[in-house]
Amino acid sequence: MEFEVHQVEDVLTKNLINNTDMKRLFTLGLFLLSVTLMSAQQKVALQSNGATTFFNSASAFVDAYNAAVDGDTIYLPGLQYNSPATIQKRLAVFGTGYHPENTEATGRTRIGAILIRDGGSGSHFEGMYVEGSIKLAGALVQDITFKRMHVSGNIELFRASNDACQDCRNITVQECVAQAIVGIYAKADGVEISNSILKQVSYFNNPDNGLVRVANNVIVDSYYNIYYLNNAMIENNVFARTNSSTSYSSVAVSHGNMFRHNVFSDNPVGPEINTWSDNWVNIDPNTFFVAYTPTYAYENNYQLAAPASYTGSTGNEVGLFGGYMPFKLNTRPSIPQIIQQQVAGEVGAAGTLQVDIQVEAQQ
């Protein structure tokens, strides 16, 4: 039996089309989509040196990783996978996304906890739900991006006191959901935590730290939202704390930071020595957001009720939907994804089966 793809619609931004790397990922994504349509079983795909290899065993992600070399791309369809014990190669790993409603046509990609060591420097992870934490460990781990990920645990720049990420550079957390971003034991430089939904950023207090920037996040209920964080740029965030946590300050044991254009549900100015500029304090999250509950839920989108009244340092609104890379509500990764499909109820006279699909990709 042959499959006839009747319609494919791609929705792309101009910047995505004009970017060489994104063109490559777009081509890979369309190829993988065609394979998904032709196969009753979704397969993990490894792209290496222009060739694509498929894996469909119970350990497909692990098998693809073992076969990969530096610079390869792994695509994980919307199923659940065990993760490799350690990531020691420079890879790009893409899933279908983490949001249940936005992955109805594909299923969401779920993987186990991740440990990334030195050899994994330069890697990119996008569009997955991680059951557990992501941990970085080694003498030098650098140039790693986590984008549109939901991490049920923490993203940690350490593993244990005897196996720390001794030097972590250029680590980007963008449009993610996680419990906390933790930097204990690490020397951090070029760490960018932006447009994400978190409970806490903590333990970036190594005296040798370089630039740590925390920007345009929504930081929800926790005992302390900023804890043992020193010498960082903290701007355009919304600290939305209610219920039992009101007896704790949103900022504690943190020194030498620049706080500017942040919205606080309390007044966090305390004995610590920090610089404060153009912040809003004692703001009620229940009226600040269009819809809000104290704990994270997929139905919360954290849109501002009056965005024009709260302008950040980048000239647009504070919170998730401001800054340089605003949060995307559909949370889909930046390679093409099936967002809608319809399969004919019967095979045509020529032995073909009509399949109508709509495909979307965004930067």
228-246 pLDDT, tens digit per residue, is 999 999 999 999 987 555 5
Identify which has the larger pLDDT, 323 or 208: 323
Contact 32, 13 (CB under 8 A): no
Q: Token pair 């934490």 is at which residue?
A: 133
Q: How confident is the model at residue 23 (pLDDT cuts 50, 70, 90)?
A: low
- Residue 33's pLDDT is 56
Distances (CA, A) of 255 to 239, 260, 341: 18, 14, 53
Stated length of the chain:
363
Query: CA 135, 257, 195, 222 torsion: positive or negative?
Result: positive
Q: Is it the case that residue 25 has pLDDT exceeding 80?
A: no
Contact 95, 109 (CB under 8 A): yes
CA contacts within 13 A on the Cβ side of 157: 38
Tell me what percent of the residues of the chain surpass a pLDDT of 70.
Answer: 77
Residue 3 neighbours by CB under 8 Å, 6+ apart: 37, 38, 352, 353, 355
Q: How confident is the model at residue 184 (pLDDT cuts 50, 70, 90)?
A: confident
Residue 103 neighbours by CB under 8 Å, 6+ apart: 78, 96, 97, 109, 332, 337
Contact 281, 267 (CB under 8 A): yes
Tell me what percent of the residues of the chain surpass a pLDDT of 90.
Answer: 59
102-155 pLDDT, tens digit per residue, is 777 778 999 999 999 999 999 999 999 999 999 999 889 999 999 999 999 999
Contact 110, 81 (CB under 8 A): yes
- Kindly report which listed range (125-139, 152-166, 200-214, 252-266) carries the lowest average pLDDT score: 152-166
> What mean pLDDT, rounded, does the chain reach?
84
3-state secondary structure 156-185: ECCCCCCCCECEEEEEEEECCECCEEECCC
User: CA torsion 85→83→73→183, rounded to 10°?
Assistant: -70
Q: How far apart are CA 49 and CA 207, in angstroms?
A: 42
Q: How far apart are CA 232 and CA 254, in angstroms?
A: 9
pTM for this prediction: 0.86
- Residue 4's pLDDT is 40
191-204 pLDDT, tens digit per residue, is 999 999 999 999 99
3-state secondary structure the chain: CEEEEEEEEEECCHHHHHCHHHHHHHHHHHHHHHHHHHCCCCCEEEEECCEEEEECCCCHHHHHHHHCCCCEEEECCCCEECCCCCECCCEEEECCCCCCHHHCCCCCCEEEEEEECHHHCCCEEECCEEEEEEEECECCEEEEEEECCEECCCEECCCCCCCCECEEEEEEEECCECCEEECCCCEEECEEEECCEECEEEEECCCCCCCEEEECCEECCCCCCEEEECCCEEECCEECCCHHHHHCCCEECCCCCEEECCEECCCCCCCCCCEEECCECCCCHHHHECCCCCCCCCCCCCCECCHHHCECCCCCECCCCCCCCCCCCCCCCCCCEEEEEEECCCCCCCCEEEEEEEEECCC
Mean pLDDT of 158-176: 82
Q: How far apart are CA 113 and CA 239, in angstroms?
A: 27
